[in-house]
Every structure is written in structure tokens, then in C-alpha cells.
Amino acid sequence: MATVLTRNKTKISKYGTTEETTSLLAIDVAPLGAPIDEKRFWFQRRRNYDPDAIATQASVFDDPDTADRYEPHPEWENIHRFDPSARWSWGEEHSLVRKIDWRIMVWACIMFMALELDRANIQQALTDNFLGDLGMTTNDRWIPAQMVLWSLIASTQFWLSGRHSFLIFRALLGMLQGGFIPDVILYLSYFYKHHELSLRLGFFWTAMSLADIFSALFASGILHMRGVNGQAGWRWLFLIEGLITFVAGVFGFLLMPAGPCQTASWFRGKQGWFSKRVLREDPGKSGMHNREAITPQLLWNSLKDFDLWPIYLIGLTFEIPMGPPKLYLTLTLRSLGFDTFQSNLLSIPYTIGHMIMMLGLTYIGEIFKELSFVSMIGQVWALPLLIFLNIVNTDEINRWLFYFVIILLLMYPNPHPIQVGWNSRNSGSVRSRTVSAACYNMFVQGSGIISSNIYREDDAPLYKRGNRWLLAIACGNIALYLSVKAYYVWRNKQRDRRWSAMTEDERLDYLSTTTDEGNKRLDFRFAH
């Protein structure tokens, strides 16, 4: 979240233009832009939009009393472009953001689709007697380099021979894919402001849903290869989709710039203001350089940051009410009498609906500047559908009605992109953001482990006990969101009282002498 200014924002934005700040005129700083509500996406329309107006907003770098307290790390990779006096127009900024969307964001989405192909194809493999073939039951340049390595592991699943080899290969795949999502989120935060990033993350996770659609379509054709060279169709599925990821990983080495100032000059914009527009909003993004390792002490400092644990707890539980029905969707469709081809195609409609709902929710969260309550909508959506699964004997109802209820449940408005951006905003520093992105992702993956153990074989086929747990967890999640909202409001009020009690000189002295870092600083406010 943006750092609190020590002076009045209006006063700062008039530096160089009023008698009130004559002592600062000698610095010869160009006027700043008028404070406005920025567009969340470049396709948005805004009244009284002037593309030639100055877009540079007031920040701590415009106050000579505070600027030196926020100077970037001397080894920050963009330090040679650091110039607080740089100014740019809204037209230039929006043109640049469009370039970032096409050259950076689109490729990040393609890479995520490649990850999802190799991660989620297990659902399609289940429709091709995968469990029976392996004798199992239902109880059981780092980014491109990662992609190449996991694609090789994914492809070699063609030669799976049994339960033990499956567990080994999936464990290796998980290890190689584990750092991808937090790495990409941190990478994107170098290019986007906070309010820009949240909606882009919505498109990022939409790419995962698109991959699920493509995976289902691919599977509908590839699984018909059962018998080719005497091999099962699911083996060809793993091999072919793994090779697709390998190609994407190779292109990643060529297309991903290391950072904002490692791009071509036409991409950066005039005067190198490309990275400074992000730094003005969050000075903490220059606290580390991109070659600096996370030491054990830095890791420990990040892990014990109790102010981020409320979001981690949300990450652990928010997907569980919808997790088991999603994991068992293709098996459920087979049990309803649909064949392999039909089961894979019938899994597509919910994915399309899920994409639309997720993007809509992310957009609403940014427009209304509300994170907690908007994120909670997904749990409220799931409640009546989970109640239906608990009170109705699904063996006795029409299979299309049962299918419709499950699809509605899985179409829930997923707040995952909002929460990833929320976690990033509340981290407050690159060090914390690096670790917190990984921690949040670990908790989300942990929810998958919990989800996979709720529907048990002794509870089949209706899973009444499992559905009761899902309903209870959804109710608990609503209480959790409300508690997290109350916690961050309370933390901000605590700091407001202490900050307001200080004189301007005391605030400047605090900024000069404090050892507080990131979200522990008194001038930091939590998003909620």
C-alpha cells in the first residue's frame, strides 16, 4: 500500500508553483500532476481525460526533507535511471502500460498456461482409466529454466509404470513448478503499480482457466490415441503437452527482459521514467536489487511477519469448499453415465464461467477499492449450493440437475488474483514481497492437499460427510474474512493515532532514525 506522506499531498503537488514553498523553488522541479483517480485498465473511459496532462503524482521523492530517506538501494538494477525530476503525460503512461500488457503480461499468461497444462492434465488422464492402469485409488533466468526442466519431467510421465513412479514424477514436477508463480508475481510487480497489478493478475489466472479448456480439448482428441504403439491415451497426453511446455520455456529465455531497465529504449519511454512511475507509488520496491539473495536471516524476518499471516490463512482455506468437487468432476461425470469424450467436454462450461466471474470480481474489487468484502463473495456464492448437496440425495435427482449444481459451484467468483495483489501490497518491501508471495502460494497449495483428503472412499458415492465439512469450512471462511478486515482496520488506526500525534519534525526524525522496515514502518498502511 502507498506510503503515507509527511506533508499535505496538495501542498507537495504545488512545489515550484506557490509562494508557500519558495524555499524549494531553487530546486527547479517541474510541476506535478493533479491528484485523480487513475484508470485501472487502459480500455477504461474517464471523463475530462487529457492525454497531455502531467501524470506524475506527488510522492516522498518530491519533498527534499524526505527524499533522501527513500533513496533506492545503491545496487538497485535501475539506479542509473533514477531521476525524481522526470515528468510524463497520461498519454505516455497509458501507451507504455499497453506495451507492458502486450510484451510482458501476455507472455506471462502464456507461460502460466504451459504450467497448467502439465499440472492439470491429471484430471483428463483420470477419464482414460489412469488409476486402473497404475493400480491406484482415489485416496492417494530461473523462470524459463524452470519451465524447461518441468516440461522434461512432464514429458517423461509417458513412461510411468505404477504408483511409486507416479508419486516420484509428480513430486519432482511440484518441486520444479513450485517457485514459478511467486517468481512471476514478483517480476510483474517491477512493471506495474499496485492498482494495475490486481486486474492483470485476474487475466493471469484466467490464462490458467484457458489452459484447462485447451487441456480438455486436447484430451478429447489425444486420449483417442489409446492403443497407438500399444500405449494408453493418457501417456500420449503427458508426452505431447510436456513438449508444448518445453517450446514455451525455450522462447521464455529469448522474450523475457530481466527488468524494467533491461528493455529496449523504445520500450522504456523517454528519460527512463519507466521504472520510476512504479517507484513513486511504492518506494519499497527499490529496497533490494534483483541479484541479491534471500539470506536465512531475511527469510526468517519475512516468515515471522505476523501482519501477513491473516492473508496466508485465507489462502489455506478459501478454495477448499470448491476443491473436492473440482478434483472429482471428471470422475463424477463418468459415474453419471457420460463417456470419456463427453466428460472432458462437459468440464469446459464451468471453466468459461469461472473466468468471467473471476475477472468481474477482480474488477469490482479495484473499482470499489475494497478487498476483504469483495473476496468474501465467493464463499457466500458457495453456501446455498453446498447446502443443496447436503440435503438432497444426489443419487435420486436428474443427472443434468446435479451437473448444473456442480457447475454453478465451480463457477464461483474466485478472489485469488485479488488476494495475491493484496498480499503484495501489504508486504511493504521487496524482501518481504519475495518471501510472502512464496508463502501465500505454499498455503494455497496446502489447501489442495486438504481438499484431496475430504472426499474419501468410505464416504462414496454421495460424500455426505465430506460435503458437511465443505459447508462448515465455507461458513468459517466468511468469519475469517470479516476477522481479517477488522484486524487490518485496527492496525491502521493504531498507526494513525501514533502518526497524527507526531509533529512534522518528529516525523522527519522518525524517518531518519527508524530501524523499522517495510510494513513495520509507521508511515505504512495496510490494504483491506
- CA distance linking residue 504 with residue 517, whole number of Å: 20
Q: Which residues pair with 188 in a beta bridge?
A: none
Residue 317 pLDDT more than 70? yes
- CA distance linking residue 100 with residue 191, whole number of Å: 7
Q: 456: which residues sit within 8 A by CB, 6+ positions away?
A: 139, 463, 465, 466
Which amino acid appears at position 361 of this protein? L
Model confidence pLDDT, tens digit, residues 192-204: 777 777 778 788 8
Q: Are the beta carbons of 124 and 330 closer than 8 angstroms? A: yes
Model confidence pLDDT, tens digit, residues 257-315: 766 666 554 454 555 555 667 766 666 665 555 555 566 766 677 778 889 999 999 99
User: What is the per-residue pLDDT for 519?
Assistant: 84
* C-alpha cell belonging to residue 433: 514481497
- The secondary structure element, H or E, covering residue 222 is helix 194-222
Domains of the chain with CATH codes? 106-260 (no CATH), 296-528 (1.20.1250.20)
Grid-cell match 503480461, residue found: 105
- Determine the 3-state secondary structure of 426 from DSSP: coil
Q: Are the beta carbons of 249 and 114 closer than 8 angstroms? A: yes
User: pLDDT-based confidence at 410, cuts 50/70/90?
Assistant: very high
Model confidence pLDDT, tens digit, residues 212-232: 777 777 776 776 666 666 666
Distances (CA, A) of 391 to 18, 379, 395: 70, 18, 12
Residue 128 pLDDT more than 60? no
Model confidence pLDDT, tens digit, residues 26-52: 345 567 766 666 665 555 666 666 777
Q: Are the beta carbons of 394 and 462 closer than 8 angstroms? A: yes
- The secondary structure element, H or E, covering residue 265 is helix 265-268
User: What is the per-residue pLDDT for 158?
Assistant: 45
* C-alpha cell belonging to residue 434: 519475495
